[in-house]
Structure 1
Amino acid sequence: MKSPQAIIHLSSSPLISFLFYSLTITCLTSAIVSASNGGNETDYDALLSFKSKITHDPYKVLTSWNNSFHLCDWSGISCGKRHKRVTVLWLDSQGLEGSLSPHVGNLSFLRILSLSNNSFQGTIPHELGRLSRLRYLYLNRNKFSGVIPTNLSGCSNLEDLWLAQNNLVGSIPKEMSFLSKLTRLFIHENNLTGGIPPFLGNITSMEVFSAVSNPLGGSIPDTLGLWKSLTEFDAGGCNLYGSIPHSIFNLSLIVNLSLSTNHLTGSLPLEIGNQFPKLEWLQLRDNELTGVLPPSISNCSKLRHLEMDGNNFSGKLTINFSKLRDINIIRLYDNNFHGRGEADDLRFIDSLKNCTKLVELGIYSCNLIGVLPISIGNLSDQLSYLALDDNQLFGSLPSSIGSLVGLTSLYLGPNLFKGKIPSTIGKLKKIQYLGLDSNQFLGPIPDAIGNLSLLTELYLDSNKLEGQIPPSLGNCTELNGLNLAYNRLSGNIPKQLFQLPSLNYFLNFSQNRLSGSIPSEIKNLKTLSNLDLSYNNLSGNITSSLGDCISLTTLNLRGNRFHGTIPSSFSSLGGLGVLDISENNLSGRIPQFLDKWKSLEYLNLSFNDFKGEVPVQGVFANASLFSVLGNDKLCGGLVTLELPKCKETGSKKKRFPFFIFVIVIAPTLLIVLCCVYLLCKKKRNSQQSQSSGSERFMKVSYGQLLKATDGFSGANLIREGGFSSVYKGILDSNDDKTVAIKVLHLQTRGAHKSFIAECEAWRNIRHRNLLKIITSCSSVDFQGNDFEALVYEFMPNGSVHDWLHSSANTSKLNLLQRINILRDVANALDYLHNRCQTTIIHGDLKPSNILLDADMVAHVGDFGLARILGIELNQNSSTGVKGTIGYAPPEYGLGSEMTSIGDVYSFGILLLEVMTGKKPTDDMFNDGLSLHKFAYMAFPDQVIDVIDGDAIVLQSSEANAKKVEECLVAIIKIGVSCSVDSPPQRMKIEIVVNELQRILNVLQNI
């Protein structure tokens, strides 16, 4: 070893001095960098590598990842207090796209890695196996592909592993059995195969296992019985075969057992109810299980959800439900409880009276035989869904059924009920669906059904009902489907039914004894889709009012006594797919418009008295699509019809004498032209007089508006659109009022018509949820150019679009604010559609047209595309602009006129955007995926996954969180129901208003 003196001597060498100096500088630099990052350069480099693999960061969450901040202050990063090493990387639901950098495996102190609900692609890096301290790994709801890395076994402290809802393939790796501390494994909704491997039983710490919706195959291993701490076992839709191992039934801590939609066979142990004392959720539906449904289920006193439907259970249903006081849902349908008609076959219903929380009872298609006991009326007043249809229930329907005041859906057909329908049915004030079809009910339809004001669908078909159709049905103002077919009803069709604007789905009175003519009031059913009046005794001419039912897709008038010709008004029914007017006494020629209907799939004109030539175009070009049998005076048409040739008409036709035109027609035409001129002149004078004498708004000039906006300065520009620009301004008045000034781009085609439409709309409306107009200005600017503007009340909180999508808005709408806004908009639409003197169609409902005042009350504005029914503004031609892409309903793209139900579609899209935070034109919506489908696929079980994170506020209790989730499901249901493609199936705006108010009441009481 050299002495200190020798070292000093060596340092005197120039080369050595230089090297020593360089080394000192390097160490100092390293020390500085180390100091700035707390000694964690490895973490710093790993995080920058992570950031480099991100290709899209819509919320700019990674902008803080730079040298201006210590890495422990970066978004989504948490560090240990002692070593300042990264312990948490949490970037859930940030819209991130890209791949996961393998350098994350260098974050050696990492305890939590959570990247849920993003769009990460590629494989899961095997380098994650280096993270020996990692306890929680959340990679679910991404687009990861490839296999589950075997190296994850190196994460020896891992407790939670969430890989669900990705595109993973292959089998569950054997190395996973080394994760001895794993308690929760979520791999559902992938493409994993290879079965549930037996070696997973070695992970004895397992508490939750979820593999739902994987094509795993194979059987359930007996070794899973080693999971003594297991509380949840979810393996539905996994293509599993064989029986459920007995070892599973020894897991006494099980709370949730879900193995639905597999191919499981065998029977359940009779003692299952004693083996699972903590069971809350038993879901074994859609399998091939046999044997009796064990009576011991009665002992599962905590059971809330029982789904055993879609199996082959047999024997008498003997479960005593009296102990299941917390049960919400019972689904036992599609089994074979082969009752023998004994007195106690339906005794289990008696035991349901203690189930005060019961919401749904489905026992249809079970081959039950017997009399429905009076005790049916003792069921919970919370019960909203009762389905006993497709059994063999006989006897009278107990009048106690009227005690189930919470019912919204009641299915009782087909069965063998007889006697009269009890009038107590009229007490079910919340009922929306009532099915009493395919029974043997006698007597008249009770007038009391008219009390069911919320009823939307009523099925009384295939019974033996007699008498007249009660006019009281006209009180069912929400009714959109009515089926009274196959009865013995007589008399005229009450015109009250045709005054129900809600009736848009179907109306079926076929196979009865109805007489008289079709009331002209049928013209009110402009949205009705299916009308069947076949095989009655209806007579007279077919009313031309049917031509106003422009939404009809099926019209069946077969087998009546109609005479006369096919009304020319039928030419407006271009959307018909089926038209059957056979077996009547109709005459005349086949109208030319029938061969031009492109949607027509079947036409039946047979057995009438039509004459003349049969066309050969359109539907008439295919003999299998139409029938003209039994019309002896027809000729021509396709050769396959074997009709006689039509006689040729003479080539020389008599010409109309020219001198008659000169003597009679020309003077008449001259007189008409003079009258038109005088009328136009009178109208123009009247308009000038009205504009000068009846002005009710304050007057403003171009100069005033120029001054109010500081010369229409860009600094005052609020927003700009195709037809207009909107400026903030201050009008000189007593209070210097702040206003919004909408200046029309008159050089843009259609802008003037937009101005006229909006002025016409504002003349007819006034509502707290509509933007208040102050005045308008139609003048010229200082260069002599035409100038038109509208002046509105200023909305200080901007538009809903700004709150949802503008990066300038740091605050976000909470859940209550969003629903209040939606309620306000629905109220405005209800007013426009149903409460005005004339119905007004907005035509362009979207977030940028919903403005918020100082109290966050929503106001609907921009009526530039509005249509006022009964007033022709010459702006809504079939080729004109109708709404905005993404918000306009699909029928507008096919040339349909604007309708109130089109506004409902736009509202549905608006609702889904407000709740999910996603625009309908978002890049993610392609290849058949739309905002509507995105929400529909999540409904109802995964609704929480599509809700905008800013809308959800965590509640203080589990009960409150459950209520919030139920409200979110109800809201998304409204959006989905409003935005279906089929106009007749969309929810009525009146129902939307009531439902949103109900949801608000629930949330405000939490």
Structure 2
Amino acid sequence: MWATLLCKHLQIKIRIGIVHQLVLLLMSSSLFLVVSAQSVPADNMDQEALLGLKSLVTSDPSGMLLSWGNGSACTWSGVRCNRHGRVLVLDLQGLNLVGKISPSIGNLSALHGLYLQKNQFSGEIPDQIGWLGQLQTLNASANILTGNIPAALINCTNLEIIDLSQNTFFGTIPASISSFQKLRVLKIGGNQLSGSVPRYIGNLSLLSTLDLSTNNLTGTIPYEFGHLRQLKYLQLSINNLKGTVPEPLYNLSSLSFFAIANNDLHGKIPSDVGFRLPRLLVFHICINRFTGPIPPSLHNVTNIQSIRMSHNHFSGSVPPGLSGLHNLVLYNIGFNQIVGNTSVLVDLMNCTKLQLIAFDENLIEGILPDSIGNLSSSLTRLYVGGNRITGYIPASIGRLSSLTLLNMSYNLLFGSIPPEIGLLKELTMLSLARNKLSGIIPAEIGDLAQLTRLEMNHNELVGEIPVEIGHLQHVLSLDISSNSLKGGIPASIFSLNSLSTLLNLSHNLLTGSIRENIGQLGQITAIDLSYNFLNGSIPVSIGKCQSLQSLSLSRNSLSGVIPGTIGNLKGLQTLDLSSNQLSGIIPATLVKMQALRLLNLSMNDLDGLVPNNGIFKDHSVVYLDGNPKLCYSNMLCYYIHSSHRRKMAVAIAVGTAAMAAITIVVIISMPLLPRKWLRNRKPKKLGSFIKKSHPLVSYEELNQVTSSFDNRNLIGTGGFGSVYKAVLHSGTAVAIKVLDLHKMGALKSWTAECEALRNVRHRHLVKLVTMCASIDFSGNEFRALVYELMSCGSVEDLIHKGRQGENVAGVNADMILSIAIDVASALDYLHNDCGEQVVHCDIKPSNVLLDEDMTAKVGDFGLARLLSPTSAGQDVSSTHGLKGSIGYIPPEYGYGSKPSAKGDVYSYGMLLLEMITGKRPVDPQFGGDMNLEKWVRDGFPHRAHEVVDERLRGTIVDICHEGQQQASAEQKRQQLMLNNIILPVMEVALSCALESPDERSTMRDALCRLKRIKEAFLKNHSF
């Protein structure tokens, strides 16, 4: 029995062994199949994912992606794989790629590192980014990505580095960030994020770098940030944070970078902050409301490199210890209430790495030390202006050979300007204004070849202006006004064609004539030569200064006539020629200067008739007193200039009155006169659509309400006629467009406009009230279109005249977005929703009008074209050849293409670019192959701020920019508008103004994008 049991046991054991072997074999086979099934398709999937990413890249300037598609993906540029052939790292940084991030990125399931920074990727990050469960580094900084930070990132729990800075993300900081317990770096600065700073960030215990700067974050700095014991880098600058700094934050002994500048924080900095933060390298708290003294312990942090505390309310004196900060590079305590003396400069002489010293706009007293030249040889900027510093400017200043900026203005300095200042060869800005400096201007000033700005105004300088100033070939602004300089103005100054901002020589003792070569200042904005003893005539060449906006030659002894060439200065806003000895008549060209807002010709010897139109219609901005020979009517001119004509004047006056009486009688009797003689002069029959849609108005009524079309009611002129404002008998305020039928194409224009407006009705199209097709009192054909009156003028006025004091306030970001949406709505309706497709053919700023609520409406359909055949089987068009205005005409029209909706899109894009840049498409600066669209596109997006109209730019470029006034809420708002509205609208404009019509956006697409910009902004920002 025992043997039998043993046999059975062995049989069972053998069977179990066989089964075990089979199981192992099957598992091995299965594993092999799984690996085989996964590895090969995964490789293919990675390759397809990369090709999907490439497919959405529209521009690859470096040709980096040309290798993609050849061979294994692991050999492609920017791709690194692991040993299994899976894509481990995708590095496309700094290639200037343009396009969108493809959702296929989510299929790179083995990806550990994704580097897309410094490109031009736009649109949103796809939610598929959440499929990358192995991702450790995500860097998409310095692009133009938008939308919310993807909530799908919550699945990427292995993330250690997130850098989405310098984009246009909006919304709040997502709660998903609290899930990243491995996170070491979080950089989301330079976006448009709003809401409060999340407290849960304080729970990310491994965090060493936190950058939330340059957003619109509100609320306070969370107390929980004091829990970040490994934090080394903290950047919260340029937000709207309020309150005080949490006390625990000063206990993070690991901190080396501490920046909370440009907020609304207050309170006192602990006096022992330097002992609590011994590793500090950077301490930036400028542009806040901190009070109390400068913490003495801060000067005990021996390795500190940058201290910026400007634009606060610090008081007291500068604490000792500066001489021991051998690594200090920047020291800025400007714009506070610091007292003390200039010995602070002596203390800083041991800081051999210093590049910037600023204690301007404080209460510092004393004299500049003779040893000032012993400051760091690396010093590039020295700000000591706005204090109570007295004494001489030491000659040793010339040893600071690296200086690019020297500001000593608004002090009590006296003595002469040392010639050694000419040794500062790198100097670009020199300001010595508002002191008591005397002596001559040293000729060595002319050695400052890099100088762009020179200010020596309001001193006691004497002697002549040195001709060597004419060597400053890069100078943009030159102000040496309010001194006692004498002699003539050197011709070399008028040869400085680099001058583009200001030439101010006023309030001196200058004599001689104004040189004819003043016309070489073609780029200058303002010239002031007033309050001198200049004589001779005003040079005719002044008309070549095409960029002039302000010209003052008052309080001199100038004689001769006012040159008519002044009328060539199309942008001139202010002209003051008062208190001279000018004679002759007022040039007719002054009437045509549409930008002119102030004209002072008083106290001269002018004669003749004063014009009654142009700027002369507004007596509040024209000064003519002190010219006894000027007259305001022909009758008065006769009376003034010739006494023997006085009787004749009386007779003429009586005769004129009689003729006027007869004319009135004739006009009143006109309805009673037989009109057979008019029957053969009836106007051509109008289409029934005109009569049905708009009851006609009589010529008599239009003549009456415009006071016989008096120029006082003229509000504009165009290619085919004039526009008058009036109020109809019904009480409706209107603009009456009277066509000049003698002009070729005028009648066709009228017909085209009537046809285009036959059935269109839209809130953003100027409403046609009625029309007139009649005979005037002379029996001539008369055509007029009567529109609703748009009381705030045109977008042309808003862009180019608003800055000169018009009733409109000037363009701003809100208006640009609003106008862009209004006009896009109108064009989308014309192109898609009004039955027959209407192409406007002349979209430009002067044809977009604004009502009292600043609502934009498209007008002037004189060149409009219906793309559907009319009843006669012909397309309606007002003119032959090119359709539109120069600068707004799409390129394809020049090659014979017919008008199309895409042509309107191009013109619309140019309209937006003009609103954003303030420059016309035909601006003189564009020549050769350069035009407005190319100029903007070349700067977009990374240099976009350089092409934006200065009125739209945020005024804070550097958050601690020395010499700036304290940042205001309006400045922050302006910067926010630039990022949130102007740049996105610029992108829409460029997509509309593409050269190829096939690549342009449609009006509907542009409208949708603009509405999304507005919705996103309103959702995330309020002021």
Same fold? TM cut 0.5 = yes
* Correspondence 1:39 to 2:35: no
Which residue of 2 is the match for residue 962 of structure 1? none
- 8 Å Cα contact 1:51-1:62 kept in structure 2: no
Query: What is the CA distance between 1:237 and its match in structure 2?
Result: 1.7
* Correspondence 1:388 to 2:384: yes
Length-normalised TM-score, structure 1:
0.59
Matches within 5 A, 1:312-327: 312-327=313-328
Q: 1:446 to 1:91 in 2, by over 3 A?
A: closer
Which residue of 2 is the match for residue 114 of structure 1? 115
- 8 Å Cα contact 1:34-1:41 kept in structure 2: no
- 8 Å Cα contact 2:242-2:264 kept in structure 1: yes
Which residue of 2 is the match for residue 412 of structure 1? 408
Q: 1:547 to 1:268 in 2, by over 3 A?
A: same
Query: What is the CA distance between 1:411 and its match in structure 2?
Result: 1.1
Which residue of 2 is the match for residue 402 of structure 1? 398
Q: What SS does the aligned partner of 1:515 have?
A: strand
Alignment-mate amino acid for residue 225 of structure 1: G
Q: 1:621 to 1:417 in 2, by over 3 A?
A: same
Deviations 1:401-421 (A, max 9, x none): 233232222111111222333
Which residue of 2 is the match for residue 282 of structure 1? 283
- 8 Å Cα contact 2:482-2:507 kept in structure 1: yes
Which residue of 2 is the match for residue 509 of structure 1? 505
Which residue of 2 is the match for residue 636 of structure 1? 632
- 8 Å Cα contact 1:469-1:490 kept in structure 2: yes
Out of 81, 96, 117, the residue aligned to residue 79 of structure 1 is 81
Q: 1:583 to 1:201 in 2, by over 3 A?
A: same
Alignment-mate amino acid for residue 302 of structure 1: N
* Unmatched runs of 5 consecutive residues or more in structure 1: 1-27, 340-344, 654-877, 910-917, 943-1006
Q: 1:410 to 1:88 in 2, by over 3 A?
A: closer
CA distance in 2 between partners of 1:925 and 1:307 (Å): 32
Which residue of 1 is the match for residue 439 of structure 2? 443
- 8 Å Cα contact 1:294-1:319 kept in structure 2: no
CA distance in 2 between partners of 1:97 and 1:499 (Å): 47
Length-normalised TM-score, structure 2:
0.58
* Unmatched runs of 5 consecutive residues or more in structure 2: 1-28, 653-884, 892-905, 960-1023
- 8 Å Cα contact 1:503-1:528 kept in structure 2: yes
Query: What is the CA distance between 1:446 and its match in structure 2?
Result: 3.1
Q: 1:385 to 1:98 in 2, by over 3 A?
A: closer
CA distance in 1 between partners of 2:106 and 2:507 (Å): 74
Stretch moving more, 919-928 or 89-98: 919-928
- 8 Å Cα contact 2:162-2:187 kept in structure 1: yes
Query: What is the CA distance between 1:55 and its match in structure 2?
Result: 3.6
Out of 506, 527, 530, the residue aligned to residue 531 of structure 1 is 527
Which residue of 1 is the match for residue 224 of structure 2? 223
Query: What is the CA distance between 1:891 and its match in structure 2?
Result: 8.0
Q: 1:57 to 1:48 in 2, by over 3 A?
A: farther
Out of 354, 365, 373, the residue aligned to residue 361 of structure 2 is 365
Query: What is the CA distance between 1:46 and its match in structure 2?
Result: 6.6
Alignment-mate amino acid for residue 79 of structure 1: C
Q: 1:163 to 1:613 in 2, by over 3 A?
A: same
- 8 Å Cα contact 2:42-2:86 kept in structure 1: no
Deviations 1:330-371 (A, max 9, x none): 2222111144xxxxx222110111222222222211232332
Q: 1:348 to 1:930 in 2, by over 3 A?
A: closer
Q: 1:651 to 1:450 in 2, by over 3 A?
A: same
- 8 Å Cα contact 2:97-2:121 kept in structure 1: no
Query: What is the CA distance between 1:626 and its match in structure 2?
Result: 1.9
Which residue of 1 is the match for residue 418 of structure 2? 422
Q: 1:417 to 1:155 in 2, by over 3 A?
A: same
Which residue of 2 is the match for residue 297 of structure 1? 298
Which residue of 1 is the match for residue 602 of structure 2? 606
Stretch moving more, 175-184 or 423-432: 423-432
CA distance in 2 between partners of 1:628 and 1:577 (Å): 17
Q: 1:441 to 1:638 in 2, by over 3 A?
A: farther
Q: 1:583 to 1:231 in 2, by over 3 A?
A: same
- 8 Å Cα contact 2:602-2:623 kept in structure 1: yes
Query: What is the CA distance between 1:170 and its match in structure 2?
Result: 4.1
CA distance in 1 between partners of 2:949 and 2:551 (Å): 34
- 8 Å Cα contact 2:455-2:479 kept in structure 1: yes
CA distance in 1 between partners of 2:58 and 2:945 (Å): 22
* Correspondence 1:214 to 2:219: no
Deviations 1:97-116 (A, max 9, x none): 34542x65564433223344
Alignment-mate amino acid for residue 183 of structure 1: R
Q: Identity of aligned pairs, percent?
A: 34
Alignment-mate amino acid for residue 227 of structure 1: L
- 8 Å Cα contact 2:936-2:947 kept in structure 1: no
Q: What SS does the aligned partner of 1:296 have?
A: helix
Alignment-mate amino acid for residue 158 of structure 1: L
CA RMSD between the two structures = 4.6
CA distance in 1 between partners of 2:958 and 2:453 (Å): 26
Query: What is the CA distance between 1:923 and its match in structure 2?
Result: 10
CA distance in 1 between partners of 2:463 and 2:256 (Å): 55
Alignment-mate amino acid for residue 357 of structure 1: K
Which residue of 2 is the match for residue 48 of structure 1? 48
Deviations 1:64-111 (A, max 9, x none): 766x74454455543321x4334334444463534542x655644332
Deviations 1:778-818 (A, max 9, x none): xxxxxxxxxxxxxxxxxxxxxxxxxxxxxxxxxxxxxxxxx
- 8 Å Cα contact 2:378-2:402 kept in structure 1: yes
* Correspondence 1:241 to 2:242: yes
- 8 Å Cα contact 1:636-1:644 kept in structure 2: no
Query: What is the CA distance between 1:613 and its match in structure 2?
Result: 0.8
Query: What is the CA distance between 1:939 and its match in structure 2?
Result: 12
Q: 1:585 to 1:278 in 2, by over 3 A?
A: same
Q: What SS does the aligned partner of 2:114 have?
A: strand
Query: What is the CA distance between 1:438 and its match in structure 2?
Result: 0.8
CA distance in 2 between partners of 1:562 and 1:98 (Å): 64
Alignment-mate amino acid for residue 477 of structure 2: G
Stretch moving more, 435-444 or 923-932: 923-932
Q: 1:56 to 1:628 in 2, by over 3 A?
A: same
Alignment-mate amino acid for residue 97 of structure 1: G
Out of 366, 369, 374, the residue aligned to residue 370 of structure 2 is 374
Alignment-mate amino acid for residue 556 of structure 1: S
- 8 Å Cα contact 2:452-2:476 kept in structure 1: yes
Out of 480, 485, 489, the residue aligned to residue 485 of structure 2 is 489
Stretch moving more, 118-127 or 260-269: 118-127
Q: What SS does the aligned partner of 2:153 have?
A: helix
CA distance in 2 between partners of 1:212 and 1:480 (Å): 33
CA distance in 1 between partners of 2:406 and 2:432 (Å): 8
CA distance in 2 between partners of 1:453 and 1:926 (Å): 32
CA distance in 1 between partners of 2:499 and 2:176 (Å): 62
- 8 Å Cα contact 1:361-1:385 kept in structure 2: yes
Q: What SS does the aligned partner of 1:249 have?
A: helix
CA distance in 2 between partners of 1:929 and 1:408 (Å): 26
- 8 Å Cα contact 1:919-1:931 kept in structure 2: no
Query: What is the CA distance between 1:141 and its match in structure 2?
Result: 4.1
- 8 Å Cα contact 1:359-1:385 kept in structure 2: yes
Q: 1:195 to 1:517 in 2, by over 3 A?
A: same
Q: 1:421 to 1:637 in 2, by over 3 A?
A: farther
* Correspondence 1:553 to 2:549: yes
CA distance in 2 between partners of 1:204 and 1:310 (Å): 34
CA distance in 1 between partners of 2:924 and 2:156 (Å): 61
Q: 1:451 to 1:298 in 2, by over 3 A?
A: same
Query: What is the CA distance between 1:594 and its match in structure 2?
Result: 1.4
Matches within 5 A, 1:689-704: none
Q: 1:588 to 1:301 in 2, by over 3 A?
A: same
Q: What SS does the aligned partner of 1:161 have?
A: strand
Which residue of 2 is the match for residue 744 of structure 1? none
Q: What SS does the aligned partner of 1:205 have?
A: coil
* Correspondence 1:562 to 2:564: no
Alignment-mate amino acid for residue 488 of structure 2: N
CA distance in 1 between partners of 2:640 and 2:400 (Å): 65
